[in-house]
């Protein structure tokens, strides 16, 4: 009896220890995917502030469309320290609500953009983030100013998802429904009002935003020239809140390959989708198995063999730990780089090289924003 009692106490201690460990990981994931209330009232339209005195150096394209950004909303300096124009507007979502977006137009315009229009990056925030927080955390506006990019930041509605998560796990969304058409409408609105180079439109995101970015790219391959996924879940699985939690922790198993085959079946002449994947080896929210399966999906989507050789580059940790050690695997078709996989040591569920003043951003590099821009610059849609 004493031995039995001792064994029972040991099992109880083990159970408690395991539960505590699970809470640390699962609390955030469960909160991320908490469904929104059944209904939410529409927000009243806000009065339009005066237009900013800062004007973009690219002239608007001739168009009869209404201006894409009718309100100019200069953000706090911590959000937008770049000198370009920072605008906000909205489109009607599929459920009839107003979905807001922010638009950055750089003051600096490369010579190529003067003639052909600005390249555009669509940036999708993660759960528990807003569009402006993502802009600040990623420092994308500052880099866009240096490189001459326009940047579009859609913001998920709380009425759609209580934690502002994009529903990457929803089957209908994965097939091009849900918020997909709303975000495409934003791109069309911006491109119709400003000089945007349609051959250089890119989409990127973190976590749930990365999942949504991938869905957009795979459902509209002619619209996007490349996609950037930071700490994102594998495509094509989940299909429920609990299913999504399972994917984040364990990947999609055989569903990962099947989902890609379904995409290719829907698009008889899929043009490929150049992809950069960035994730931390210490991510316990969206575990590294997701990046491994995304890489396999990326090979298939781009017509490369599952055992295609990679050019591997190892980067050592920087001085004073300002840059984490990381490995980059590059996959080519001839001389064209189609898939880049960056695996970063000591990085958890956070934007690498971001603004640590905000959650989900890690100060230590490599700088994920710079990496994405350098990758995007190699690609345009014919």
Residue 271 lies in a domain: yes
Count of domains for the chain: 1
Residue 371 lies in a domain: yes
Count CA atoms closer than 13 A to 64's CA, side-chain side. Answer: 0
Residue 338 lies in a domain: yes
Residue 30 lies in a domain: no
State the alpha helices, DSSP H only, in the chain. Answer: 2-32, 111-116, 131-138, 140-147, 171-174, 180-193, 208-219, 241-250, 255-266, 289-301, 368-376
Question: What CATH number should be reported for the domain holding residue 88?
Answer: 3.40.50.1820
Residue 173 lies in a domain: yes
- Choice among 124-133, 315-324, 347-356 with the minimum mean pLDDT: 315-324
Q: How far is CA 89 from CA 63, 179, 325, in A?
A: 18, 17, 40
pTM of the predicted protein model: 0.84
Band (pLDDT 50/70/90 cuts) for residue 321 is confident
Helix axes 208-219, 180-193, angle to 10 degrees: 70
Choice between 3 and 93, residue whose per-residue pLDDT is larger: 93
Kindly report whether the peptide bond that precedes residue 366 is cis, defined as omega within 30 degrees of 0.
yes
Query: For the residues 223-247, what does the mean pLDDT come to?
Result: 98
Angle at 174 between CA 170 and CA 176, to 5 degrees: 120
* Structural domain span for residue 104: 52-376
Q: How far apart are CA 84 and CA 57, in angstroms?
A: 9
3-class secondary structure, 27: helix
Choice between 29 and 362, residue whose per-residue pLDDT is larger: 362
3-class secondary structure, 244: helix
Band (pLDDT 50/70/90 cuts) for residue 110 is confident
pLDDT tens digits, residue range 112-122? Answer: 888 899 999 99
- Say what percent of the chain tops pLDDT 90: 74
Residue 32 lies in a domain: no
Angle at 199 between CA 194 and CA 202, to 5 degrees: 85
């Amino acid at each position: 009896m004493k031995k039995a009692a001792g064994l029972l106490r040991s099992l109880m201690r083990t159970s408690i220890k395991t539960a505590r460990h699970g809470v640390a990981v699962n609390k955030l994931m469960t909160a991320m995917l908490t469904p929104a209330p059944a209904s939410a009232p529409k927000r009243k339209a806000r009065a339009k502030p005066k237009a900013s005195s800062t004007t973009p150096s690219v002239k608007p394209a001739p168009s009869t469309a209404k201006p894409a950004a009718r309100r100019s909303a200069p953000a706090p300096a911590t959000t937008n320290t770049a000198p370009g124009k920072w605008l906000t507007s909205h489109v009607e979502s599929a459920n009839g609500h107003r979905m807001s977006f922010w638009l950055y137009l750089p003051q600096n315009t490369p010579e190529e953009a003067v003639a052909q229009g600005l390249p555009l990056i669509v940036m999708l925030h993660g759960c528990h983030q807003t569009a402006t927080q993502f802009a600040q955390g990623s420092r994308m506006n500052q880099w866009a100013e240096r490189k001459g990019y326009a940047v579009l930041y859609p913001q998920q509605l709380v009425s759609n998802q209580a934690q502002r998560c994009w529903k990457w796990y929803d089957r209908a969304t994965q097939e091009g429904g849900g918020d997909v058409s709303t975000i495409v409408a934003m791109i069309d609105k911006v491109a119709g009002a400003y000089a945007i180079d349609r051959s250089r439109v890119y989409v990127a995101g973190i976590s749930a935003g990365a999942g949504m970015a991938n869905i957009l790219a795979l459902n509209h391959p002619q619209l996007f020239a490349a996609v950037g996924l930071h700490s994102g879940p594998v495509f094509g699985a989940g299909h429920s809140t609990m299913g999504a939690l399972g994917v984040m922790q364990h990947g999609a198993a055989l569903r990962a390959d099947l989902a890609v085959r379904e995409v290719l079946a829907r698009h008889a002449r899929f043009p490929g989708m150049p992809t950069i994947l960035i994730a931390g080896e210490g991510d316990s929210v969206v575990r590294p198995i997701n990046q491994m399966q995304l890489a396999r999906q990326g090979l298939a989507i781009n017509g490369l063999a599952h055992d295609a050789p990679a050019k591997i580059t190892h980067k050592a940790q920087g001085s004073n730990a300002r840059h984490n050690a990381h490995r980059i695997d590059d996959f080519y078709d001839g001389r064209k780089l189609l898939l880049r996989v960056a695996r970063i040591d000591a990085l958890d569920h956070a934007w690498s090289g971001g603004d640590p003043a905000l959650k989900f951003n890690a100060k230590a590099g490599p700088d994920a924003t710079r990496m994405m821009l350098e990758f995007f610059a190699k690609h345009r849609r014919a």
